[in-house]
Amino acid sequence: MRWGPVLLIAAVAGFVIFLVTVPDWSLPRAGTQLGSRASSMIQFAAGPAEDRLNRPPPEIPPWAQDIRPASTAFKNVKVLSDVNAGEFMRLQKAMTQWVSPKQGCGFCHVSGDYASDAKPEKRAARLMLTMTRHINSAWPDHVGAGGVTCYSCHRGQPVPDQVWYWHPPVPVHPMIDEQEDYHEKAVTVRKFFPDEGFEEYLLERTSGLGQSQTPLPSGQAVSQIEVKRLYEVMMQMSDGIGVNCGFCHNSRAFFDWRQSTPQRWTGFSGIQMTRNINRDYLVPLAAISPLTRQGPGDAAPQVGNALANCATCHQGAPKPLGGANLLKTFPELKGPDPHVAASGPVSPPGRS
């Protein structure tokens, strides 16, 4: 037996398999310089995958004209009482398309009795209506005049795609080190990190002052684990809105607000708004529909329902849904929520 030709054929076959199976590492195409030259504030244009997620939702045609107030036309209207009955029904159709197109009206309603509150999904949707109205009226600095609708997060499914779960603390391994809940099946480094940073920044009120001002750790304002969490969250935020650090910071002085872009302020209000959404709406949602899920491939069970982060709305784009003006066609989704004290942006505790 001559091994030479066999080895040659095996090598060629191996090389062809390598070419076919190895992913396409092509880099993002266009880069744009934001800051002054050599400041490394470069942004890359989003790829075609993000563009697909970035299209505005399908239009919802008007319902039959009915100008009676919904509160008199229907029996059990608690949030949308100021909306006219025709527009109310158009919104019902829209909510069905945005949240439960496969399940239909029956996802929230028991058949034959639209006024009944028996289904937890309907009670959840009512809380969601107050939340959406609150986001659009209390956070115009962040969501702009275009605002958000159910579709901004749900994208045609009952549980939004881009979410995170609060995990119970993972037991400390006696021999090695503290076990971290890494996303081991992540395809990018930024998605690999655990969700603990979300807990600290998007649920608890952790201050984001992490950068040391001195060469030695003695000058450090916070512990090393806090610094680690801060950097993890910064990476996850950047990933969620599809940008690099230089979109908000000048990387030679991350702490300095004077050398930061205006987008850092928008990011700052995003952190506070997401905290508001999680604390005041999505955590309380668990009382309406208690859930414990086993996450895909994650070691720890997930407690309660899903929570929001930047990616829930942004889905990897700096302007969700291409910056579409969603409130123009659904102005009733903006309004005060009487149950929650209006919380608006506060000034960052940043240093100069």
Interface size with ligand HEC, residues (CB under 6 A): 86
**Binding residue for ligand HEC, selected from 54, 100, 136, 276, defined by CB under 6 A:** 100
Backbone phi and psi for residue 233, each to the nearest 5 degrees, phi listed first: -65, -40
Q: Which two tokens stand for residue 252?
A: 């030679």
Q: Say if residues 252 and 39 touch (Cβ distance below 8 Å).
A: yes
Cβ proximity to ligand HEC: between 182 and 254 the closer is: 254
Residue 318 in the binding site for ligand HEC (CB under 6 A): yes
Site string for ligand HEC, 247-266 (x = CB under 6 A): xxx----xx-------xx-x
**Binding residue for ligand HEC, selected from 153, 232, 315, 337, defined by CB under 6 A:** 153
**Binding residue for ligand HEC, selected from 137, 289, 329, 343, defined by CB under 6 A:** 289
Closest CB 125 distance from ligand HEC, rounded Å: 4
Q: Say if residues 152 and 135 touch (Cβ distance below 8 Å).
A: no
Closest CB 38 distance from ligand HEC, rounded Å: 18
- Using CA atoms, how far apart are residues 209 and 335, in angstroms rounded to an integer? 34
Site string for ligand HEC, 42-61 (x = CB under 6 A): --------------------
The one-letter amino acid code at 282 reads: L
Residue 348 in the binding site for ligand HEC (CB under 6 A): yes
Segment 166-225, which members bind ligand HEC (CB under 6 A)?
207-211
Cβ proximity to ligand HEC: between 46 and 310 the closer is: 310
Cβ proximity to ligand HEC: between 170 and 222 the closer is: 222
End-to-end Cα spacing for the chain: 76
- Using CA atoms, how far apart are residues 330 and 146, in angstroms rounded to an integer? 10
Cβ proximity to ligand HEC: between 21 and 32 the closer is: 32
Cα dihedral sign, 169-170-171-173: negative
The one-letter amino acid code at 78 reads: K
Segment 127-146, which members bind ligand HEC (CB under 6 A)?
128-129, 132, 135, 142-144, 146
Question: Which positions ≥6 away from 176 have C-beta within 8 Å?
Answer: none
Can you say whether residue 63 is alpha, beta or left, with left for phi > 0 and alpha for psi between -120 and 50 degrees? beta
**Binding residue for ligand HEC, selected from 44, 69, 86, 93, defined by CB under 6 A:** 93
Residue with tokens 């109310």: 88
**Binding residue for ligand HEC, selected from 34, 60, 163, 170, defined by CB under 6 A:** 163
Nearest CA among 289, 286, 283, 290 for reference residue 340: 283
Cα distances from 139 to residues 76, 114, 128, 170, 338, in angstroms, run 29, 32, 16, 35, 15
Part of the chain binding ligand HEC (CB under 6 A), chosen from 7-15, 33-41, 167-175, 246-254: 246-254
The one-letter amino acid code at 193 reads: F
- Using CA atoms, how far apart are residues 51 and 345, in angstroms rounded to an integer? 30
Closest CB 242 distance from ligand HEC, rounded Å: 10
Cβ proximity to ligand HEC: between 129 and 300 the closer is: 129
Part of the chain binding ligand HEC (CB under 6 A), chosen from 26-34, 46-54, 61-69, 118-126: 118-126
Cα distances from 176 to residues 168, 172, 173, 192, in angstroms, run 20, 9, 6, 20
Cβ proximity to ligand HEC: between 53 and 310 the closer is: 310
Closest CB 219 distance from ligand HEC, rounded Å: 12
Closest CB 29 distance from ligand HEC, rounded Å: 19
- Using CA atoms, how far apart are residues 25 and 230, in angstroms rounded to an integer? 29
Residue 300 in the binding site for ligand HEC (CB under 6 A): no
